[in-house]
Amino acid sequence: MRVKVDADSCQGQQMCSIAAPEVFGSDELGHATVLITGDLPAELHTKARRAQANCPEDAIIIEE
């Protein structure tokens, strides 16, 4: 599993970094960044999916 943030959709809600702080962070404007750009370890898959589900802007992309 890999994750990306659609920068055009992200509004800086930060719901992703709350749901999965190991996977998502914040840039200097408060918009989401991806902290793990390669394959996510299996133990973070559930949190990454939760981050995607909680984003009101549909800005989290998961590739499996």
53 near other proteins, rule: CB under 8 A: yes
Residues 11, 19: Cα–Cα separation, whole Å: 16
30 near other proteins, rule: CB under 8 A: yes
Question: Binder to other proteins among 4, 27, 41, 61 (CB under 8 A)?
Answer: 27
Question: Binder to other proteins among 12, 39, 41, 61 (CB under 8 A)?
Answer: 12
Output the CA torsion sign for 24, 48, 12, 14.
Answer: negative
* Terminal-residue alpha carbon distance, the chain: 4
Q: Which residues bind other proteins (CB under 8 A)?
A: 11-15, 17-19, 26-30, 50, 53-57
